[in-house]
Amino acid sequence: MLVNVKKLNVQQFIAQQITTEMVKPYSFTAQAPSNIALVKYWGKYANQIPANPSISFTLTNCHTDTSITFEPKKQKKPQLEVYFEGKQKESFKPKILTFIARIIKYCTYLNHFDIHIDTKNSFPHSSGIASSASGMAAISHCIMQLEKSFYPEMPLSYFNQKSSFLARLGSGSASRSVAGEVVVWGKHEQVNASSDLYGVSIPFQLHKNFKNYQDTILLVDKGEKVVSSTVGHKLMNNHPYAKARFEQAHQNLGAMLDILKNGNLTEFIQLVESEALTLHAMMMTSVPYFILMKPKTLEIIQEIWRFRAKTGLHLCFTLDAGANVHLLYPNDEKELINHFIKEKLAQYCQNNQYICDELGTGTRTK
Ligand code: PMV
């Protein structure tokens, strides 16, 4: 088991008790985007504390829309109802109940309410795109709107910090979906405000080369993953290369911060692709080992490398814990690259399906 020796101040996130007058019906909505990591989080300590810091682009079009109604509870125990795309969804409940159990000590006011959640994703169901990041960020945003209605003087900075803190307890990477456009989660020496407890936006102006940076997601495999990310993270415990990997992630994050400041796209490509392959190398060298890439993932990578050598355009790939490929490229090279995607890469996707997305600003009230 990875042992975390750092002391973290979680007291600041414990909400005060509410009064009985505050227990009445409330209703809130939120739209939260997905995000794609440039330097990857893989491996964690207890309570969703990351083994290394990570950095991601917040997306726009891949998002979850959630409305939550909080009603004064009718029975001794608060009840939870979950609807997905208008239909009751029992299978979502265990994950949300685990989430509520993790956050209840920070949000004891939830003990007074029955919770009704209505949620939908903008991306196709079971497309292999993780909906946990956007889903948990959206729920957390609604819960924080409830908390803010008890304490209206709550500063926006606290609202966002605690939203990310709660989202993290649902799914680590969800902590990076609250803010935009580039978010660091995990303590890093070059970002003063960074924390293992929540994500923060980078503290400098993103270079103009990254303005509206594009992310096209090639849907290579929509099936259920053979190994979940929960299991994958656990396999970093006792992983033979874990220590070196965690150190490397620190270094890579430092290098990435410089790149995002100076706009060097060649270095960006090298670092992003190396991070993606390192993530999958960790999977392939876990005990037991596993592979989440598919033959088509590798064929796409070869196509990208050939295209880049031929055109000199700045198209690169990154991977999540799955077979789908995220294509990252500058907005001003969009036309030629989109043509290449349509003519060449779409054929590797299930039913030729891919999703066009770009850099975004984070979770908002809808
Ligand atoms: O948030 P989780 O527990 O689903 O882990 C996500 C891990 C990766 O997507 C592989 C990397 C990352 O930093 O998002």
pLDDT interval class at 125 (50, 70, 90): low
Q: Do both 227 and 103 map to the same domain?
A: no
Provide the number of structural domains found in the chain.
2
Does ligand 1 come within 6 angstroms of the Cβ of 172? yes
Distance from the alpha carbon of residue 25 to the mean position of ligand 1, in angstroms: 35
Does ligand 1 come within 6 angstroms of the Cβ of 320? yes
Distance from the alpha carbon of residue 279 to the mean position of ligand 1, in angstroms: 10
Distance from the alpha carbon of residue 310 to the mean position of ligand 1, in angstroms: 33
Average pLDDT over residues 17-37: 97
- Select from 173, 184, 283, 324 the residue to mutate for testing ligand 1; criterion: most ligand atoms less than 8 Å from CB: 173
Rounded to an integer, what is the distance from CA 205 to the centroid of its chain?
22
202-231 pLDDT per residue, tens:
999 999 999 999 999 999 987 777 889 999
- Select from 35, 39, 41 the residue to mutate for testing ligand 1; criterion: most ligand atoms less than 8 Å from CB: 41
Q: Which residue has the higher pLDDT, 126 or 342?
A: 342
pLDDT interval class at 5 (50, 70, 90): low
Q: Do both 201 and 218 map to the same domain?
A: no
Classify residue 363: in a domain, yes or no. no
In the chain, pLDDT over 90 holds for what percent of residues?
A: 92
Distance of CA 301 to CAs 11, 37, 294, 304, 338, Å?
46, 18, 11, 5, 16
Q: Do both 28 and 126 map to the same domain?
A: yes
Q: Do both 160 and 14 map to the same domain?
A: yes
Classify residue 193: in a domain, yes or no. yes
Classify residue 364: in a domain, yes or no. no
Does ligand 1 come within 6 angstroms of the Cβ of 229? yes
Q: Do both 110 and 171 map to the same domain?
A: yes
- Going by CA atoms, what residue is nearest to atom 10 of ligand 1? 321
139-170 pLDDT per residue, tens:
999 999 999 999 999 999 999 999 999 999 99
pLDDT the model gives residue 223: 73
Q: Do both 70 and 37 map to the same domain?
A: yes
Q: Select from 206, 228, 257 the last residue of a domain.
A: 206
Q: Which pTM value belongs to this model?
A: 0.96
Q: Select from 206, 227, 242 the last residue of a domain.
A: 206
Listing DSSP states for 186-224 in one string gives S-BTTBTT--SSSEEE-SSPPPGGGTT-EEEEE----SP
pLDDT the model gives residue 8: 79
Q: Which residues pair with 325 in a beta bridge?
A: 218, 319
CATH code, 68 = 3.30.230.10
Residue whose entry in the numeric block shows the structure tokens 């796209």: 265
62-93 pLDDT per residue, tens:
999 999 999 999 999 999 999 999 999 999 99
Q: Do both 186 and 238 map to the same domain?
A: no
- Select from 57, 229, 283, 284 the residue to mutate for testing ligand 1; criterion: most ligand atoms less than 8 Å from CB: 229
Instruction: State the SS3 of 32-87.
Output: EEEEEEEECCCCEEHHHEECCCEEEEEEEEEEEEEEEEEEECCCCCCCEEEEECCE
Helix axes 156-170 and 93-103, enclosed angle (nearest 10): 130
- In sequence order, which ranges of the chain are alpha helices (DSSP H)? 93-103, 132-150, 156-170, 229-234, 242-262, 265-284, 295-311, 334-340
Average pLDDT over residues 286-305: 97
| Of residues 126, 149, 150, 163, the one with CA closest to residue 13 | 163
Q: Do both 331 and 269 map to the same domain?
A: yes
Does ligand 1 come within 6 angstroms of the Cβ of 216? no
Is 90 exceeded by the pLDDT of residue 126?
Answer: no
Average pLDDT over residues 54-67: 97
Is the separation of the CB atoms in 116 and 68 below 8 Å?
yes
304-345 pLDDT per residue, tens:
999 999 999 999 999 999 999 999 999 999 999 999 999 999
Does ligand 1 come within 6 angstroms of the Cβ of 132? yes
pLDDT the model gives residue 3: 63
Q: Select from 140, 171, 206 the last residue of a domain.
A: 206
Return the structure tokens found at 349: 């996707």
Its domain, for residue 156, covers 5-206
Return the structure tokens found at 103: 């956050």
Residue partners of 345: CB distance under 8 A and separation at least 6: 218, 300, 303, 327, 354
